[in-house]
Structures are given as structure tokens and as C-alpha cells.
Amino acid sequence: MPNLEHPAYPAATLLHLESLVPCRESQVSLLLSIFGERQQFSLPSIFIYGHTSSGKTYVMQTLLNTLQLPHVFVNCVEYFSSRLLLEEILIQLQSYSSKIEQSSHVPCDSLNDFVGLFKQVVASQELQDQTLYIVLDRAEQLREMEANILPAFLRLQELTDRNVTVVLLSEIVWELFRPSIGCFEPFTLYFPDYSIGHLQKILSQNHPPEYSADFYAAYINILLGVFYMVCRDLKELQHLAVLNFSKYCEPVVRGEANERDTRKLWKNIEPHLKKAMQTVYLREISSSQWESFQRGSGEPGQLKGLSAHTHVELPYYSKFLLIAAYLASYNPVRTDKRFFLKHHGKIRKTNFMKKQEKTSNHLLGPKPFPLDRLLAILYSIVDNRVPPTANIFSQITSLVTLQLLSMVGHNDQLDGPQYKCTVSLDFIRAIARTVNFDIIKYLYDFL
């Protein structure tokens, strides 16, 4: 077990730090040796990547806070434009100094301004003799800002000539960042996923005060047995553990089992967890609904998930428009004659097909079609005469806003707009059933 060791920091602090970052000791010790002592220059930029909730943000935050290193922590999703981002860094820096007033807000439009302002802020403080760390969380957003932002951050040390290290945190690999014009290559560090043993260790750490650590660890073991297959997100697992713990304790509270009776407890909790996996984990029902369901003995059948409400009520002609759109999307144009003309004669499918059409159109997905074709099909599938009023056209538009149709290449309205039908086969069959239209008979794939 490699204990954290570093001459610059007191051993007690390091020990405390180690207890805070379980299963990440090797990464932390590597980072510590890179950082060096407070006043020593470190690497200009460090790139840390790893999957969701592999502890990147948490480790960095704990490390910098516990060792009380001067740092700025910015989330790039939150500060979505370069201007906001740079200003936020400056504002946070200002808070380190006592001399400058908080409210003096300086506009910072470009990176050039930033470098100047940065020098000012750093010079006016006691930060000079320490390395300053700028941590940019969710750094993949930087790629969407101006092209100079990312390369400039990577060599900020050089540009500002100050003792500063930029740390980028991201979920994707460095190769996807590298700009085409080239840039300074940062030191990359990978945070591997937590293994099941790690998860067990971390989750068991925070046991509720009422129960013993062993009891909670046994519970976590069962929980991981169910959920590890589908979810390795530590936060999510933590959340699920808390949600279902009261159910696990139920037999103990009622006095039917003691804390060591693991088998009985397992029997009690296992189906419950499986149910949770199908409902609350998918956010089919909300956590608060799940909790109230646990407290009361209500039937789980009463709680209908979000996916249970798939039915959509549509006006009569909208239904037919949608059906027509579906047919236009999934049938080849040449087959329209066969389906919608009265005296089409008998054309067998084998003669009819070209090679590429042998693959199911449903596997290839919807194809775009022009408005005229949609209306032509509509007029032939509706039994009575459809008046070509503005209402029909506005219905098409509202189907587009409802995301049941989507417009393809909407550059010019006059240019004959093209649409695609985005609904699924099941959905359209349910719609067709309500208007007594046998859609399967009209689909080329099912001929």
C-alpha cells in the first residue's frame, strides 16, 4: 500500500487526504510529484480523462482544497462562451486578494486582454511565489469556442510568464482535442474506471450512523450484485443505495430478522431492487414517487412509468397525414402506383425489386419525400374527399413541431419542402388501428 509521501506537506494532511480519496491513491501521488513544492514551477498543462464519475473532478477538488493550493475551478458547460469563461477565471482570482474590491468587474473580450489582466491580478497578490492552478472541468466544451482558446490555455504558463498550471478534465481522449494547426501537448493522465471492489469499498464508506458498517457493506454487496451489470456510475449507485436502504432495513426494524440474517434480508430486498432497476433507475418514475411507494404499501402497478403513456391523440386528418407520411417514407416511389392506383395489374415482388431494395426499408430508416407525394397519398387513402384547405397544410406544420415529422433541408419554403416521418412502426400501427386502416397491407416491406 503506497502511502502518500511528499516532503513539502505535513504527513497528517497527507494522511487525511488519503482517507478522502479511496482507490485513487496512485493517481494522487503521481499528481503530487508533478506539482512539486508550492513555489516550484510545474507542467504548463495537464490533461486528465476518464469515464463519467471516475472521480476526476472530486479528486482534483479534494487535492487542491486539502493542500490549500491556490486554484481556480471552472466548469466549461456553465460558462459557455469564451468571454464568460475568462471573466469567471478573473473573478475567482480576484477573490484571492484582499486589496482589490470585489465589485470591480473588468470586461475581458479576448485572450489577449485576459493575459494582461491575468498578469495584473497575479502580480498584485501574494500568489507570485506559489503555483496557481486553473482547472477547467468538462474541457471538451473548449473545442466549440474560438480556435485560439484551447491552444492558449495549454501554454498559458509561457504566455503569461507566471507560475501557473492549467488542468483540463474531460471524458474523452486527448486525440479528439488536438487541433489541426497543432498545439502544445499536455501531460495526459488516465483515471481508470472503478472496479467492483472499488465501488464496494467507496460505497460502504458512508454508512448511516444508526447501523453498523458491516451491515451496510452487506447491503452494498447485494445492491452491486443487481446493478453492476447495468450501471457503474458511482453517483447513481450511491443514490440508488440510499433510496432502497429503508426497504432493506424493514425486516430488522420490524424485528423479523437481525442484522446478521443476510439470507433473509437478501430475499426481501432482491425483487425490490430488480423492480427499481426497471423503474426508478430509468427515471420511469421519480425518486420521490418511489420513496412514497416504499413507505405506503401501494401496489407498484399503480405507478405507471413515463413510457406507459405512449398514446397520442391526434385529429382525424392528422392521423391520415401521419400514415401517408409513413408510407411515403418507407415505400419506394415506384411502388406507389401499385398501392394507390386502382387498376395497377399484378406485379410480383420479385420482378419488381432492384437489388438494393431487397434489404428492408425499415432497417434503412425513413427516406425523405416531397410534399406533393404526401398529399397524393393522403388523397388516395382517405375515403371521402379531403378539401385542400389551409387547415391541412397547417396540420403538416404542426406535425413537424410535434416532432412526428421532420423537415429535411429547410432552406427554402418555395422549393418544395421535403419531409421525413420519424415515428416508429408500433406507433403508426396504433394510429392506423384507430381509423381502421390496415397499414401493413400498404407497406412494401411486408408484402
23: contact with other proteins by CB under 8 A: no
Which DSSP category does 161 fall into? T
Contact segment (CB under 8 A) with other proteins among 8-16, 119-127, 408-416, 437-445 equals 408-416
313: contact with other proteins by CB under 8 A: yes
213: contact with other proteins by CB under 8 A: no
283: contact with other proteins by CB under 8 A: yes
Task: Give me the long-range contacts of 282-291 (CB less than 8 A, separation at least 24).
Answer: 287/239, 287/243, 290/243, 291/243
Smallest separation, CB 278 to other proteins (Å): 14
* 162 or 232: CB nearest other proteins: 232
d(C-alpha 420, C-alpha 406), whole Å: 5
Task: Give the binding-site size for other proteins (rule: CB under 8 A).
Answer: 62
Decide if 373 contacts 335 (C-beta within 8 A).
no
For cell 513539502, the residue is 8
Smallest separation, CB 320 to other proteins (Å): 9
- To which H or E segment does residue 66 belong? helix 56-66
306: contact with other proteins by CB under 8 A: yes
337: contact with other proteins by CB under 8 A: no
Decide if 357 contacts 316 (C-beta within 8 A).
no
* 175 or 210: CB nearest other proteins: 210
310: contact with other proteins by CB under 8 A: yes
81: contact with other proteins by CB under 8 A: yes
398: contact with other proteins by CB under 8 A: yes
Pick from 47, 114, 219, 317: which binds other proteins (CB under 8 A)? 317
Stretch 353-392: interaction string toward other proteins, x if CB under 8 A: -------------------x--------------xxxxxx
> What's the one-letter identity of residue 244?
N
102: contact with other proteins by CB under 8 A: no
Contact segment (CB under 8 A) with other proteins among 162-170, 269-277, 310-318, 352-360 equals 310-318
Dihedral (Cα; 112, 116, 118, 123), 10-degree rounding? 160
Which DSSP category does 436 fall into? T
110: contact with other proteins by CB under 8 A: no
Smallest separation, CB 189 to other proteins (Å): 23
Cell of 413: 419554403
DSSP 81-142: SHHHHHHHHHHHHHTT-SSS-TT-PPP--SHHHHHHHHHHHHHTSGGGGS-EEEEEESGGGG
d(C-alpha 330, C-alpha 368), whole Å: 9
Site for other proteins, residues 58 to 77, rule: CB under 8 A: 75, 77
Stretch 222-251: interaction string toward other proteins, x if CB under 8 A: -----------x-xx-xx-xxx-xx-----
Which DSSP category does 346 fall into? -
d(C-alpha 275, C-alpha 301), whole Å: 11
* 369 or 444: CB nearest other proteins: 369
* 267 or 304: CB nearest other proteins: 304
Cβ-in-10-Å burial (0-12, 13-18, 19+) of 130 comes to: middle
311: contact with other proteins by CB under 8 A: yes
165: contact with other proteins by CB under 8 A: no
43: contact with other proteins by CB under 8 A: no
**Sheet containing strand 369-370, strands side by side:** 369-370, 418-421, 405-408
401: contact with other proteins by CB under 8 A: yes
Nearest Cα neighbor of 366 from 336, 328, 398 is: 328
Pick from 17, 86, 145, 314: which binds other proteins (CB under 8 A)? 314
d(C-alpha 90, C-alpha 74), whole Å: 11
Binding site for other proteins (CB under 8 A): 52, 75, 77-81, 84, 87-88, 206, 208-210, 233, 235-236, 238-239, 241-243, 245-246, 282-283, 286-289, 304, 306-307, 309-318, 372, 387-395, 398, 401-404, 413-416
